[in-house]
Amino acid sequence: MVTYRILETPLGEMMAGATDTGLCLLEFTDPERLQRQLPRLQQHLDAPLHEGDHALFQPLSAQLAEYFDGNRREFELPLDLMGTAFQRQAWTALLAIPYGQTRSYQQQAEAIGQPDAVRAVARANGDNRLGIVIPCHRVIGKNGTLTGYGGGLWRKQKLLALEGALDPQTDAQSDLFA
């Protein structure tokens, strides 16, 4: 069974989901994103979703607040990563990208020992169901452009600006959460 709850963040509502193993979902509640991810999650788990409380939601809320306040760089929560072996490998590589830094999809593919799998890495990142916690927002195009983010490029830009990975002089994000 997956227990879920809606959480408020400075970038909008997010749906958090947890199993007995760990956090398995943290998605912005944009309808198109949830319509894509929820059926995949249920398929992986072969379990229903129900709204309620879970022991992970309080530490998750606290850690998200610390992150958005600039006081947390890594999340310390048990994760329930459901996906193929390749997806889990790509997501683990995302966890290795330091706070405040970015990598290209090419660099991520190289980090998992599959330099020709750039498109597959991008697809795996798109299937990441743990936004912010597994920082797929830290992956950018090879030429430095902000590309692909399920939560929207405006959120990706704000997350990278929060982490100091964007130069406020050259990026239009000097008023981060205004």
- Check 136, 140, 161, 166 and give the catalytic one: 136
**Three-state SS letters, 135-156:** CHHHEECCCCCCCCCCCCHHHH
Annotation says 136 is catalytic = yes
CA–CA gap between residue 70 and residue 86 (Å, rounded): 32
Burial 87-96 (b: 16+ CB within 10 A, else e): bebbbebbee
Residue 76 is inside which H or E element, if any?
none
Question: Among all residues, which ones are annotated catalytic?
Answer: 136
